[in-house]
Amino acid sequence: DVDFHLVNFLCLTSVGGASETGRSNIKFSRHIYQYPIICMLGLVRLNVEKFFVIKNAANWNDAQNHCREKYTDLASVTNMEDLKLLHQLGPSQIFWLGLYGDTKEEWKWKWSVEEQDSSMVDTGYRNWDVDEPNGGQNYNRFCTIMFPDGTWQDEPCDWVNPVLCYKGGK
């Protein structure tokens, strides 16, 4: 069908060390969705979490609002296991993470989810690319993008990128 194309997604569930993998195909209308959406399940903070890569580009604030409206928040990558899962299953484009820094607070980096969930503790894990974060001129706040290779870079929050959301599990 000319109006539709198939989009593959991979879901992985990891509970108690066991893994199960499943593949599916979904049809999306090119006229409605500019890009496909990919679903991933992983283990974060000892709860099963669902990660959603939204390829429709947005600035960081709009991305955060979308993630909080539809899911829980922008994704947090707090350890190497999270990064490996996202790198292994993730799509081949950059996307926003929930990490942001503020020059007014001497470049203290915070996860977006910390604003809503006081049980979320920043582990201090970072996977910055070479010479990152490097800030910039005329910007007071920077947000984080993740590259397909798993490295991070700070960018002005008003730039437009695809989005990585998560939905927390209890």
pLDDT at 38: 37
| Residue 166, pLDDT score | 84
Most confident of 31-35, 81-85, 160-164: 160-164
C-alpha span between 100 and 97 (Å, rounded): 8
Instruction: For domain 4-167, give the fold.
Output: Mannose-Binding Protein A; Chain A (3.10.100)
Q: Give the gyration radius of the chain's Cα atoms.
A: 16
Query: What is the distance between the alpha carbons of residues 111 and 146, in angstroms, rounded to a whole number?
Result: 14
Percentage of the chain exceeding pLDDT 70: 60
- The set of residues, in sequence order, having a beta carbon less than 8 Å from that of 69 and lying 6+ positions away, is none
Q: Do residues 76 and 47 touch, judged by C-beta distance below 8 A?
A: no
Q: Where are the domains of the chain?
A: 4-167
Residue 27 forms beta bridges with which residues? 6
Indicate the range of 44-48, 66-70, 76-80 predicted with least confidence.
44-48
pLDDT at 30 over 90: no
Mean pLDDT (whole number) for 128-144: 79
What are residue 66's phi and psi, to 5 degrees? -60, -45
